Amino acid sequence: MQLVPKTVKGHRYWYLVQKGRKNGVVTNIKTIYIGSADRLSQMLSEAGEASFPAAFDSWEVGASAALCSEIRALGLVEIIDSVCGARRSDATLSYGQLFTTLALQRAIAPLRLRSQDQLRSWYEHCGVRDMLPLDPAGLDPRRVDEALGRLRATDLDRVETELVATVIRKYGVVRDVLAFDTSNFDSYTRSANPSRLLRRGHAKSKRTNLRVLGLGLLVTADDEGLPLLWFVYPGNQPDVRSFRSFLGRLKRCQHRLGLGTRSTLVCDGGNICKDVVARIDAEPTLHLIARLPTGHAPEADQLRTDALLPVEGFGDEGRAKMLTTAVYGKLRTVVAGLQRQHARIAAARLEARHP
């Protein structure tokens, strides 16, 4: 046990810290906040050495409380159970309880290696155990493997549908402007793993020795950024192909998401090409605003800096100009402007009906 000082905003505070090994790495396994030096002195003088605590325990509480509150409010466990059905008679946990606990672990304390095997240990040493009481025996790795083995892609789609509908109804989510983007995540699976999703591609981490998993995500464009649609794809798949897949999914669930003629989708320029724009033109209810890479709108690229007009609220570097020009053979509304690095950018509203 060590008495450790820490300076926060110019003020010095003291903590009791116990070191230990976790996953082979030395780290802080127990920490208790004491306060300032005056507070420490006062505690020692008032309590006396005999009554001062000889030991203590601590665990994460804040994230557990916030997430468990949302889980109860949305009825997530009940949604999963209604979709996946009942487990066999000797199972101690339902599908909803097990998968919800797995999701909480990924959100609060994701582990790089053997995360699933450590689910029970994590649960028994964090605040979730008090807010979502379960039988820890049901979190045994073998039982988790068995439950995951029975989960199907159609089950995930149905859970997603029910959960998103509940979120929209409960919180009155505004869907006038939505944002779409893709990313990928490193995996640490063996090369012999037969997964069709884990592939070596252009990893965001710049690592070349790991297989990656792609993720496409549609979120609300407000400060909340609530996810409304998501899907995974092979890590070596280009963004344009992933965006085509996304458009198909969006068309199938457009009605249940409540997207009307006023909804506008914003995406990065790496997701669009001539074929994608033609497909969007064929959809009468889909509006799209996308960044245009250099060369897609030559007239906008050729604008001089002094031809751009100041944009209020963006300082000296906020300069832009709106024009109508040809993009992929059709007239579009394009806004040419400057980024902070003074690189030219152009954003187009890809609507052939109202250029």
CATH number of the domain residue 192 falls in: 3.30.420.10
56 located within any domain:
no
276 located within any domain:
yes
167 located within any domain:
no
161 located within any domain:
no
Is residue 233 domain-shared with residue 327, that is, in the same domain?
no
> Whole-angstrom Cα distance, residue 23 to residue 21?
7
| pLDDT score recorded for residue 297 | 81
Domain end among 284, 305, 330: 284
Query: 98 lies in which domain range?
Result: 62-153
Question: In a structure prediction context, what are the per-residue pLDDT tens digits for the chain, which is 355 residues long?
Answer: 778 888 888 888 888 888 787 776 778 888 888 888 888 777 777 766 555 566 666 677 888 899 999 999 999 999 999 999 988 888 889 999 999 999 999 888 877 666 777 888 888 888 888 889 999 888 988 888 889 888 898 999 899 999 999 999 998 888 888 999 999 998 888 888 888 899 988 888 888 888 999 999 999 988 778 899 999 999 999 888 999 989 888 888 888 888 877 788 888 888 888 888 888 887 767 788 888 877 778 888 788 877 888 877 666 667 888 888 888 888 888 888 765 433 344 555 555 444 3
Is residue 99 domain-shared with residue 197, that is, in the same domain?
no
Is residue 79 domain-shared with residue 25, that is, in the same domain?
no
342 located within any domain:
yes
| Tokens (6 digits) for 153 | 């892609």
| pLDDT score recorded for residue 354 | 42
Q: Is the dihedral of CA 349, 261, 218, 175 positive or negative?
A: positive
CA distances (Å), origin 169, targets 119, 162, 163, 288:
32, 11, 10, 25
**3-class SS letters over the chain:** CEEEEEEECCEEEEEEEEEEEECCEEEEEEEEEEECHHHHHHHHHHHHHHHCCCCCCCCCCHHHHHHHHHHHHHCHHHHHHHHHCCCCCCCCCCHHHHHHHHHHHHHHCCCCCCCHHHHHHHHCCCCHHHHCCCCHHHHCHHHHHHHHHCCCHHHHHHHHHHHHHHHHHHHCCCCCEEEEEEEEEECCCCCCCCCCCCECCCCCCCCCCCCEEEEEEEEECCCCCCEEEEEEEECCCCHHHHHHHHHHHHHHHHHHHCCCCCCEEEECHHHCCHHHHHHHHCCCCCEEEEEECCCCCHHHHCCCHHHCEECCCCCCCCEEEEEEEEECCEEEEEEEEECCCCCEEEEEECCCCCC
Q: How open is the CA angle 307-312-318, to the nearest 5 degrees?
A: 50
pTM comes to 0.71
47 located within any domain:
yes
Looking at the structure of the chain, the number of domains it has is 4
Is residue 66 domain-shared with residue 108, that is, in the same domain?
yes
Domain end among 284, 316, 346: 284
57 located within any domain:
no
With a CB cutoff of 8 Å and minimum separation 6, the contacts of 7 are: 13
Is residue 40 domain-shared with residue 110, that is, in the same domain?
no
Torsion on CA atoms 250, 253, 259, 265, rounded to nearest 10: -10
Give the other-Cβ count within 10 Å of 243's Cβ: 22
Is residue 96 domain-shared with residue 68, that is, in the same domain?
yes
Is residue 271 domain-shared with residue 337, that is, in the same domain?
no
Is residue 206 domain-shared with residue 260, that is, in the same domain?
yes
Determine the residue type at 265: L
Domain end among 258, 284, 310: 284
Is residue 196 domain-shared with residue 129, that is, in the same domain?
no
Is residue 303 domain-shared with residue 277, that is, in the same domain?
no
74 located within any domain:
yes
Is residue 32 domain-shared with residue 13, that is, in the same domain?
yes
> Whole-angstrom Cα distance, residue 174 to residue 226?
10
> Whole-angstrom Cα distance, residue 271 to residue 135?
46
